[in-house]
Structure 1
Amino acid sequence: MDKLRALNYFLKVAQTLSFTEAAKAFDVPASSISRRVAELEASLGAQLLHRTTRTVRLTEAGQLYLEHIRMGMAQLDAAEALVRERGSTPSGTLRISCMPGYGRVKLMPVLQDFCEQYPDILLDVHLSDELVDLGGDQFDITIRGGAEPEHRVVARRLDPNRFVLAASPAYLAARGTPRSLADLAGHSALLYRGPNSILKWMAFDGGDWVYPALTPAFVSNDGASLLTMACRHRGLVLLPEWSLRHYLDSGELLAIELESPLSVTRSEQIGIFMLYLQSRYAIGKIRAAVEFIHGRLAEPS
């Protein structure tokens, strides 16, 4: 049995939960994928995948095996890439995944400059809020908002992701400027829908976290759409400062300061983080991108 090939096939099936999709990725018949994985299971004496005519899912043993071999395979890929590019300028395909809003507003201008400095690196940029896997043939770098990850990956903070409440001057002139949490009850709210639910506005009043009463006027999973509605005087918007900066500087929107600042999380460790595997940092294209992006986007500490 070619164990390395079998491991790569198993990783792809575990990722896609489909023998057909794995076969397309390697340009081989699905029967070849199935046979190699079956040989791997036989050598281990354990079933890694539950197969039916319609679904594929990991067994408990398969999940455990996947967690242990994923890092090792990523390190092997990194070692091969490091040896191949030794002594050469950074080159090859670099896969980056980033949140859509931050990607369009902040990351893409930086990557345009990066391409001019490193013309031999082909950027493959994926804008999505979905969680993705680092390493292997997935992504080399991901940029996500939230709490700092606790393990497995290196996380470098790019932005504190501080949320700011804002509205248009015309809206505030017509409806008044709120100064307390109680004042929000009489206002229209433009709400952001995250991957799992609508983000709730909350504030710490000195004793506990409270959720102010809101009257939703518009809901979207697209920050740009919320900004458009805010500029058209439809309500209050609570978004990261980096996404509001242009509108605040131009005067299209005004920042609103409440007695108790609003947030969308109780965590004090939130931010925009650039994530990558330490084992792959030595690869020239990854190291170049990490340092370039961090140098351009990270706020001074």
Structure 2
Amino acid sequence: MQLKALRYFLMVASNRSFLATARHFRVPASSVSRFIAGLEKDLGHQLFYRSTRAVRLTEEGERFHQQAREAIDLLDAAVDDLGHNEGALSGRLRINAPEAFGRLHVARLIGALQAEHPALDVELQLTDVFIDPVQEGVDITVRIGAQVDSGLIGRTVAAQRQIVAASPAYLAAHGVPQTPADLLDHRCLLYKGQFGTQRWYFRQDASAAFEGINVSGPLCSNNAEVLLDAAMEGRGVVLFPSWLYRQGSFERTQLVPLLGTWEGSASVESSYIQLLSPENKLRSRKVREVTAFLLDGFGSPAYWDEAADT
């Protein structure tokens, strides 16, 4: 059984494509097919269902995938920790992040990371769907939400701050809300995701429970940046995490933070930005050092919160 065949197998299992796997490894698609066929012959089991429209794991392939992933992770961690590899990082690293946060804050750090470690290949997956990092073979997952005991090991980047904001033009035309209840008389721009239209929650005391209000307005969207643009155009009030506001939005007075004595939230629970990894991934020096690199790049306090406070 060849190591190359195992790596091809894991990549096909991840991206569901022989062609994409061939492109990643810069080999002909026929080579990937030949190695996978050889692996199936060695194991005595079919690992993939193949059709013109899709590639998916068989039941035997699912079982083998988990064990093969753990074996390759252990091997890669051993290579990472070899004395001759104490300098620049190399090899492949998979990072998963929410779409907007990854685009605005993770992607910009990848360039600096690879400038420092040019032999490091990074696969950055951006999706708002929570994945299973163990099943997907992801090294570092950026997760935004309530802190839960997920079996993953993580570092907290920051608590997620939600800020109510509107443009000076909107406030001049409609007045400045002084309390959350005042927002009921304002044009609120609402995010609508997979769980329905966002509800807004507020509290003044950190020890108190959040209380929801049913705001409404002329525009809702499943794209937060559409709503942010509308707010800067003077079309309404938004409630978004501080990391989503573009750097300079407040400094250039495009938007004015509101309800400063109130803590806002898009859920009844406090939310946090975390970097999570399966325990076995943390054996890898590469994962540990990239996690530290990202934490340092985000800063403490996070640079987006400092921008919102200026």
TM-score (norm 1): 0.74
Change (3 A) 1:209 1:120: same
Report the CA distance shift for 1:56/1:290 in structure 2 as closer, same or farther (over 3 A). closer
- Residue number in structure 1 paired with 2:216: 214
* Distance in 1 of aligned mates of 2:106 and 2:156: 14
- Matches of residues 37-116 of structure 1 in structure 2 within 5 Å? 37-39=39-41, 41-42=43-44, 48-83=47-82, 86=84, 88-92=86-90, 95=93, 96-103=95-102, 105-107=104-106
Structure 2 CA distance for partners of 1:61 and 1:109, relative to 1, 3 Å:
closer
| Cα offset, 1:233, TM superposition | 0.8
Distance 1:53-1:98 versus aligned 2 partners, 3 A rule: closer
Structure 1 residues 93 and 135: CA distance shift in structure 2, 3 A:
farther
**For residues 234 and 51 of structure 1, what CA distance do their matches in structure 2 show?**
50
Corresponding position of 1:256: 258
Contact 2:164 2:258 in 1 (8 A): yes
Distance 1:20 1:119, change over 3 A: closer
Per the TM alignment, residue 238 of structure 1 is displaced from its structure 2 partner at its CA by 1.1
Change in Cα spacing, 1:5 to 1:136, as seen in structure 2 (3 Å) is farther
Contact 2:181 2:213 in 1 (8 A): no
Distance 1:103 1:130, change over 3 A: closer
User: Aligned residues: percent identity?
Assistant: 28
Contact 2:16–2:55 (8 Å) recurs in 1: yes
Kindly report which structure 2 residues correspond to 1:257-272, keeping only aligned pairs within 5 A, or say none. 257=259, 261-268=263-270, 270-272=271-273
2:233 alignment counterpart:
232
How many angstroms apart in 2 are the aligned matches of 1:241 and 1:41?
Answer: 51
**Distance change (3 Å), C-alpha of 1:24 and 1:296:** closer
- The verdict on how the C-alpha distance between 1:40 and 1:184 changes in structure 2, with shifts beyond 3 A counting, is farther
RMSD: 3.9
**Aligned positions of 1:134-153 closer than 5 A:** 140-148=139-147, 150-153=149-152
Between the aligned partners of 2:5 and 2:123, the Cα distance in structure 1 is: 29
Kindly tell me: are residues 175 and 64 of structure 1, through their superposed partners in 2, closer, same or farther at Cα, counting changes over 3 Å?
farther
Query: Residue type matched to 1:274 in 2?
Result: L
Correspondence for 1:35 among 10, 34, 37: 37
Q: How far 1:235 sits from its partner (Å)?
A: 0.6
3-state SS, counterpart of residue 80 of structure 1: helix
Count of aligned pairs: 292
Q: Aligned partners of 1:149 and 1:33: how far apart in 2? A: 40
SS of the aligned residue for 1:72 comes to helix
Q: Residues of 2 paired with 1:208 and 1:104: CA distance?
A: 30
Shift of 1:115: 5.9
Q: Distance in 2 between matches of 1:235 and 1:54?
A: 44
CA 13–184 in structure 1, closer or farther in 2 if over 3 Å, else same: same
Q: Does the Cα contact within 8 Å between 1:3 and 1:40 map onto a contact in 2?
A: no
Distance 1:253 1:20, change over 3 A: closer
Q: Which runs of 5+ in 1 are unaligned?
A: none
